[in-house]
Amino acid sequence: MINIIFLAPPAAGKGTQSDFLKQRYNIPHISTGELLREETKKGSEIGQKINEIMISGKLVSDDIVINLVKNRLSMPDTKEGYILDGFPRNINQAIALDKMLEELGKPINYVFYLTIDKDLALKRTCGRATCTNCGQIYNLKFPETMPSKPMTCDECGSPLFVRQDDNEETFLKRFDTYISETEPVSTYYKNKKLLFYVNSGINKDITFNQIISAIDVPEIK
Ligand code: AMP
């Protein structure tokens, strides 16, 4: 089993790295941001509330997110492993996760903490665009990650969209929320000796190589 968690400030690249890992190890990428965005698309009253909280840059209530994660981790495709992107985001969620993983028999193996400079994260956030169909992520502020045709996916030709919370104002609030609520979770995992720091401010392939070199260490017998 390869059971992975990503801890990172907004736009540090946890979505991109999770997708790389999903392809390499054939395990599901579980993004709580994505699960919540799916809820908002249902048009229900609760979906509307979730959307407002996401745009405010704050955290959605623990009960809602913990339930979503519990249901998702109970699915059979997590048998060989999972990649949790965006959960846990506070200590209460980390404790709830430990409890559910113990019950499910799927303990965490690696927690990757992606480090990035705040200004670079802001630049990445404000240029991010995602494919409406295949989820491929682009960045309109960096020539190397722009789509070849404006707002069109190179992979499948579908239109790209910009997330409602990917703007400077919401980014600054999300970053503050990260520092006050999520950063302390790193100490929680450091104490459990599960934490790996990875520099995510250079190049996504270098970041990926650092991650897989931690996972693919040959066992000493
Ligand atoms: P992300 O896609 O990970 O950047 O998350 C987008 C937004 O979804 C966050 O700013 C939060 O409002 C909400 N969110 C995602 N994951 C969680 C979580 N584990 N707990 C509470 N809110 C979350």
| Catalytic status, residue 72 | no
Strand pairing report for 81-85 and 29-31:
parallel
Which of these, 68, 64, 78, 70, lies nearest to 100 by C-alpha position? Answer: 70
For residue 221, the CA-to-ligand 1 centroid distance in Å is 41
C-alpha 97 – ligand 1 centre gap (Å): 16
Q: Which residues neighbour 125 within 8 Å (Cβ) at sequence distance 6 or greater?
A: 10, 11, 166, 167, 168, 171
Residue type, 12: A
- The per-residue pLDDT for 221 is 64
Check 128, 141, 193, 204 and give the catalytic one: 128
Q: Which residue's C-alpha comes closest to atom 14 of ligand 1?
A: 33
Residues whose beta carbon lies within 6 Å of some atom of ligand 1: 10, 31-33, 36, 53-54, 57, 59-60, 65, 86-87, 89, 93, 165, 174
> What are the backbone angles phi and psi of residue 208, rounded to the nearest 5°?
-60, -40
5-40 pLDDT per residue, tens: 999 999 999 999 999 999 999 999 999 999 999 999
For residue 158, the CA-to-ligand 1 centroid distance in Å is: 25
Helix intervals (H) in the chain:
14-25, 32-41, 45-56, 62-73, 91-104, 118-127, 168-177, 183-191, 204-215
Atom of ligand 1 nearest to the CA of 89: 19
Reported as a pLDDT band with limits 50, 70 and 90, residue 43 is confident
> Does the structure show a pLDDT above 90 at 144?
no
Probe target for ligand 1 pocket from 59, 166, 172, with the most ligand atoms within 8 Å of CB: 59
Q: For residue range 76-124, list pLDDT tens digits in order.
A: 999 999 999 999 999 999 999 999 999 999 999 999 999 999 999 999 9
Are 208 and 17 in contact by the 8 Å Cβ rule? The answer is yes
Helices assigned H by DSSP within 105-202:
118-127, 168-177, 183-191
14 assigned to active site: yes
- In the annotation, is 37 catalytic? no
DSSP state of 199: E
